[in-house]
Chain A
Amino acid sequence: MFVMRRSVSLFVLVSLFVLVTAASCGIAVAGDNKTDYLTEIKPILAARCFSCHGGLKQESGLRIDTAALMRKGGESGAAVVPGDSAKSPLLERISATDENVRMPPEGKPLTKKQIATISAWIKLGAIAPADEKPEEDASRHWSFRKPVRPVVPTVKNSEWVRNPIDAFIAARHESFELTPVPTATKSELLRRVYIDLIGLPPNRQELRAFLADGSPDAYEKVVDRLFDSPQYGERWGRHWMDVWRYSDWYGRRSVNDVRNSYPHIWRWRDWIIRSLNEDKGYDQMVREMLAADEIAPEDDETIAALGFIVRNWFSLNYDTWKQDLVEHTGKAFLGLRLNCAHCHDHKYDPILQKEYFQFRAFFEPLELRHDRVPGGVALTKYLRYTPSGSGALKPIKSGLPRVYDHYLKEATFMYRLGDPRDRFEGPPVTPATPAFLGGTKIPSQIEQIKLPPVASYPGLKPFAQRAEIEQRERAVKSAEAELGKLKQPSAQVAKLVAEAKLAAAKAELTAMEARVAADNSQFRGDPGDPKSLAQSASKAERQAKLKLAQLKHMQAQQAVTAAGGNAKALKKAQAALTVANKSAEAAKSALAKVSADYTPLGPKYPTVSTGRRKALAEWIGNQQNPLTARVAVNHIWMRHFGRPIVESVFDFGRSGTRPSHPELIDWLAVEMMQPSVAPLPGHAWSMKHIHRLIVTSSAYRMSSSTPVDSPNLKRDKDNRWWWRFDRQRMQAEVVRDSILHVAGALDATIGGEELDPKLEATTQRRSLYFAVYPEGGGTMKFLETFDPADPIDCYRRKGSIVPQQALALSNSQLAIHHGRLLARALSTEIQQAGGDAMAQQASFITAAFEQILTRSPTEIEIEFCVAFLKKQQELYGQANQKTGAPAKGVVAAATDPQLRTRESLVRVLLNHNDFVTIH
Chain B
Amino acid sequence: MTIHQRDAGPCCGCVPRRTFLADMGMGFTGLALGSLLLDDGISRAAAAPTGKPLFAPKAKSVIWVFLSGGYSQLETFDPKPALTKYAGKTFKETPFDDPLKSPLHDARSRSVIEKVRDKYAKIYPTQVGFKKYGESGIEVSDWFPHVGSCVDDISFVRNMYTTDNDHAAENQIHTGRHKLDETQPSIGAWVTYGLASGNGNIPQFVVLGGPTRPDTSQSFESYYLGPKYGGIPIALDPNNPLPYGRRSGDILLEEQRNEFDLVNKLNRLAAVEYPNDDALSARIRSYELAFNMQKAVPEAVDLAGETKEVQQLYGLDNSNTRLAGRRMLAARRMVERGVRFVQVYPSPYGVWDSHKNLKKLHAAQSAKVDKPVAGLLKDLKRRGLMDDVLVVFCTEFGRTPAVEERSGGTDGRDHHPHGFTVWFAGAGVKGGHVHGATDELGFHAIEPGHYITDMHATVLHLMGLDGRKLEIPGRKRLDVDHGTPIRDILT
Contact = CB atoms under 8 A, between A and B. Distances in A.
Interface of A: 107-108, 250-254, 316-320, 339-340, 385, 387, 418-419, 421, 643, 647-648, 650-651, 656-658, 705-706, 708, 713, 716-720, 726-727, 729, 774-778, 781, 784-785, 787-790, 792-808, 810-812, 816, 858, 860-861, 864-865, 868, 871-872, 875-876, 881, 883-887, 890, 892-893, 904-905, 907-908, 911-914, 917
Given A650-B13, A917-B279, A785 B23 contact: no
B52 interface: no
B12 A796 contact: yes
Contacts of A729: 279
Contact of A796 (B13, B228, B262): B13
Nearest to B23: A657
Contact of A861 (B211, B269, B275): B269
- Count chain A CB atoms within 10 A of each CB in B3, B19, B217, B266 and give the residue with the most: B266
B29 A648 contact: no
B279 A807 contact: no
A647 B22 contact: yes
Interface string B428-468: 00000000000000000000000000000000000000000
B198 interface: no
Contacts of B243: 781, 784-785, 804, 807-808
Interface in B463-491: 474, 476, 479
Nearest to B259: A908
Contacts of A890: 248
Given A643-B29, A811-B246, A802 B228 contact: yes
Nearest to A783: B227
Given A720-B22, A775-B214, A810-B290, A801 B263 contact: no
20 contacts: A317-B113, A706-B274, A718-B22, A727-B277, A775-B218, A781-B243, A793-B12, A796-B14, A798-B11, A802-B2, A803-B293, A807-B242, A865-B262, A875-B252, A887-B249, A908-B259, A911-B263, A913-B279, A914-B270, A917-B280
B251 A801 contact: no
B181 interface: yes
Given A718-B27, A883-B249, A804 B211 contact: no
Interface string B26-47: 0111101110100000000000
Contacts of B11: 796, 798
Given A807-B294, A861-B266, A886 B249 contact: yes
Contact of A904 (B9, B10, B215, B255): B255
A717 B1 CA distance: 30
B5 interface: yes
A243 to B, nearest CB: 10
A533 B206 CA distance: 70
A806 B287 contact: yes
B7 interface: yes
B159 to A, nearest CB: 22
A241 to B, nearest CB: 13
Contacts of B30: 717-718
Interface residues of A: mostly helix, strand, loop or mixed? loop
B19 A647 contact: yes
A320 B183 CA distance: 12
Given A792-B223, A806-B287, A801 B250 contact: no
Interface in B283-334: 283-284, 286-287, 289-291, 293-294
Contact of A787 (B183, B227, B476): B227
A864 B262 contact: yes
B12 to A, nearest CB: 5
Contact of B248 (A107, A657, A719, A816): A816
Contacts of B269: 858, 860-861, 864
B266 A798 contact: no
B382 interface: no
A324 to B, nearest CB: 9
Contact of B249 (A718, A860, A884): A884
Given A254-B213, A871-B258, A804 B3 contact: yes
Contacts of A784: 1, 227, 243
A802 B285 CA distance: 9
A190 B259 CA distance: 28
Contacts of A319: 114, 180
A252 B243 CA distance: 24
Given A650-B13, A812-B244, A886-B249, A800 B183 contact: no
B266 A883 contact: no
B273 interface: yes
Contacts of B228: 800, 802
